[in-house]
Amino acid sequence: MNPSTKRDPAAERSRLRLIVVRVLVFSLFATLFARLYYLQVVSGDSYRQAAASQSLREVVVQPQRGLIVDDQGRPLVANRTAWVVSVDRTLLGRLSERDRKILLRRLANAVRTPLKQIKEDLVTCGERGSVRGRCWNGSPYQPVPVATGVRQAEALRILEQPEDYPGVLAQQQSVRAYPRPYGVNLADVIGYLSPITAGELNKARKDHDTSVNGASTVGRAGIEEEYDRYLRGRPGYQKVAVDSMGRVLGNEGEVKGHPGDTLVTSIDARVQSVTEKALHDAITTARATYDPVTHRNYSADSGAAIVLEAKTGRVVAMASQPTYNPGEWVGGISREQLARLYSPQAGDPLLARAYQGQFAPGSTWKPFMTVGAFNNGMGPSTMLDCSSGFQVGNRLFHNYESASYGMISFAQALQVSCDTFFYRVGYYFWQKYGQDPTDVHAHDPLVSEAKAFGFGRPTGIDVPGESAGRIADRAWKLAYWKSMKGYYCGIDKHPPAGTSSYLKLFAHEFCLEGNYYRAGDAVNFVIGQGDTLVTPLQLARAYAALANGGTLYEPRIAKAIVSPSGQVIKRIRPKVQGHVTDPAHAISYVDNALLGTAKVGTMAWKMGGFPLDQIHIRSKTGSAEVYGKQSTSWVASYDDNYVVLMMVTQGGTGSGTSGPFVRRIWEALYGVHGMQVDTRKALIPGVVEPAALPAFQPDGSILPPRPRTTGSQP
């Protein structure tokens, strides 16, 4: 072998490596070019569309909430346009920390909102730093509203200077407005709106309910809550193109929403206005009146007034005091405002006394006890002593509103509100059926009658949060004793320092025999005292049953749901909850007896000169005693068409405080001036509410319905 032709093995290996590297490099570039060709040529269109879609933002367009109108078509709740400023948190997150601080500070100054509040609004609920009631419940990609009701000049400045407000949107949206026809308030009936909670939003998503979103406001309390699903409508969606800094470049399409339906109510704004003013004046007058029992003016710290249709249970007017302005909730409510609304010092304005307040009924309870007595052996011929006092064991029970009248009938006892007469009724049935104070199952016909008239359970009115009241019978007393025995026995055995002698005695007796239902409990029950509590609405509904012969209706505020185009979607008709059985025809007897209250009884001194021969008003007064407080004033009255009831806590006697203002409502209902009745001047055309609904015109106007004749059935 020639040595000159021999190859170097090391050089050969280097040459092979170089070839391999060249092949790899070539393959790499080939792959890169192929991929580039695929991205730009084959899939270019799809990627361009994806890139374009990333510059679009979907903005929820909240629907216009439905109107709430009265029986004549007058708007009670409407809408107005307001500027709303929102922040896109996705775009905000792309800014540097320094730029974010500058933007939020600039925005806070522009919309005149505290910077701290804006920061709280932008935190997602449930995350660290979130503040209940202020945090954001919606999607992280949805612009977050941070200011509502912004001045137009401020909103336009944000729109005209997008470079100074990247990621900030200013839009006009619909918010609630309260026209207040005839000056009505109606807060307890209407309710209010507030932002949807995380729990509500999650439930809506599970139920596939697309009518709400993170930016939705929903009904709270009153008919706003009860009929929220009709009133809220369905939101629309608008796509807007934005640049990398969040500046809006233009609209890219819209899915239109659906406005909410209109709710027609049985409320009449004119009657409501008179009722609210009458209640206010009754309270104001009581506060200026001297109380001879406590030797100071009446506190008159709260009250309620109700007007019902006797034949249907429809609510024509309902007022409570103290109350609040529902407009306070529009655009969000401050912590200070919310604290005041929940404050006992302010009188708990959010408590709707008419259907949530619970009070001792006093002598307004006696007509139902009369029906119970008649249906269990007593009758028109029963005569009992209306003495100045009635002895039960070691306690003497006195009359409150009545002097001594001797032997009288049930009719006279109702008219003059004789307590001792009814003490004897309660004592009679206790002796007959329940002398064993430990027998929790003893028959009590008077308790049964109270339950038959609907007391002790909700009336079923179409607003949430109604109270059930309380019938303090044997079962309740035993249950209460079991729940409180440990507490009072503890006081009895080891009284804390400063415990009064009264509380020590009460605790000792309660610990030993607080479950006993004694004769004193029975006589207190029959005159509406003791531990029995009712709501004003329960009492008004029960008097409506006296007026219509024994039918218990579930009170209704809503009459119909009407679409934005004026089509009736749903009529909400009166619903019967039950009937009072009355084999002795006691209701008719009570009905006739209560006619005399305004003529010769406890209301006579307030009804002088009223045309009772034309408007046949039955009435019953009550002055309920409350331990440690001044008495509660009650007047319950009715005729064939209406029930009118008023209650003022710590307000004195029924007729003295509430009587003149109940009369004022009756005069307005029928157009009474002196002894003359001119139904043409009645608050409601035709005197009673029309069966027909308001007429909704294509141009958006609402015409009142045609009136119906007095006394006709709906």
Specify the 3-state DSSP secondary structure of 538.
Answer: helix
- Dihedral over alpha carbons 247, 251, 253, 254 (to 10 degrees): 90
pLDDT tens figures, 175-203: 889 999 999 999 999 999 887 877 888 88
pLDDT tens figures, 604-659: 999 999 999 999 999 999 999 998 899 999 999 999 999 999 999 999 999 999 99
- Which pLDDT value is given to residue 4? 52
Quickly state the pLDDT bin for 121 (edges 50, 70, 90). Answer: confident
Of the chain, the percentage scoring pLDDT greater than 90 comes to 61
- Which pLDDT value is given to residue 243? 62
pLDDT surpassing 80 at residue 54: no
- Which DSSP category does 604 fall into? G
E strand residue ranges, 625-704: 632-638, 642-649, 672-673, 676-677, 695-696, 702-703
Of the chain, the percentage scoring pLDDT greater than 70 comes to 89
- Which pLDDT value is given to residue 610? 97
pLDDT surpassing 60 at residue 5: no
pLDDT surpassing 90 at residue 526: yes
Q: Percent helix, strand, coil in the chain (nearest 5)? A: 40, 20, 40
- Which pLDDT value is given to residue 240? 66
In the numeric block, the tokens 């209640």 are attached to 279
pLDDT tens figures, 397-454: 988 756 789 999 999 999 999 999 999 999 999 999 989 999 999 999 999 999 999 9
Q: Which residue type is seen at 587?
A: I
- Which pLDDT value is given to residue 393? 87
For residues 684 and 275, give the distance between their C-alpha atoms in angstroms, rounded to a whole number: 13
Quickly state the pLDDT bin for 601 (edges 50, 70, 90). Answer: very high
The CA–CA distances, whole Å, from 480 to 430, 469, 476, 484, 567 equal 21, 15, 6, 6, 52
- Which pLDDT value is given to residue 338? 74
pLDDT tens figures, 634-647: 999 999 999 999 99
- Is the previous residue joined to 496 through a cis bond, with omega within 30 degrees of 0? no
What would the two tokens of residue 164 be?
């100074």
pLDDT tens figures, 309-330: 999 999 999 999 999 888 887 7
- Which DSSP category does 166 fall into? T
- Which pLDDT value is given to residue 714? 37
In terms of pLDDT, which residue wins out, 537 or 161?
A: 537
pLDDT surpassing 70 at residue 331: no
For residues 307 and 646, give the distance between their C-alpha atoms in angstroms, rounded to a whole number: 9
For residues 294 and 272, give the distance between their C-alpha atoms in angstroms, rounded to a whole number: 33
- Which pLDDT value is given to residue 84? 86
pLDDT surpassing 50 at residue 712: no
For residues 386 and 406, give the distance between their C-alpha atoms in angstroms, rounded to a whole number: 5
Quickly state the pLDDT bin for 698 (edges 50, 70, 90). Answer: confident
- Which pLDDT value is given to residue 461? 97
- Which pLDDT value is given to residue 507? 93
Q: Which residue type is seen at 183?
A: G
For residues 74 and 705, give the distance between their C-alpha atoms in angstroms, rounded to a whole number: 11
How many degrees, rounded to 5, is the angle at CA 300 between CA 298 and CA 305? Answer: 140
- Which pLDDT value is given to residue 33? 75
For residues 420 and 411, give the distance between their C-alpha atoms in angstroms, rounded to a whole number: 14
Q: What is the mean pLDDT of the chain?
A: 88
pLDDT tens figures, 338-376: 778 888 888 899 999 999 999 999 999 999 999 999 999
pLDDT tens figures, 240-291: 676 655 555 666 667 788 999 999 999 999 999 999 999 999 999 999 999 9
Task: Give yes or no for a contact between 265 and 259, defined as CB atoms under 8 angstroms apart.
Answer: no
pLDDT surpassing 60 at residue 2: no
- Which pLDDT value is given to residue 702? 93
How many degrees, rounded to 5, is the angle at CA 591 between CA 586 and CA 595? Answer: 145
φ/ψ of 521, rounded to 5, equals -65, -40
Quickly state the pLDDT bin for 693 (edges 50, 70, 90). Answer: very high
How do strand 236-242 and strand 406-408 relate by DSSP bridges? unpaired
pLDDT tens figures, 122-160: 887 767 766 665 677 666 657 788 888 888 888 888 888
- Is the previous residue joined to 322 through a cis bond, with omega within 30 degrees of 0? yes
- The whole-number average pLDDT for the span 474-501 is 93
Domains by residue range for the chain, with CATH: 57-265 (3.90.1310.10), 269-473+517-681 (3.40.710.10)
- Which pLDDT value is given to residue 384? 97
For residues 536 and 633, give the distance between their C-alpha atoms in angstroms, rounded to a whole number: 12
- Which pLDDT value is given to residue 711? 45
Cβ-proximal residues to 519 (8 Å cutoff; 6+ apart), any chain? 392, 393, 427, 430, 431
pLDDT surpassing 90 at residue 568: yes
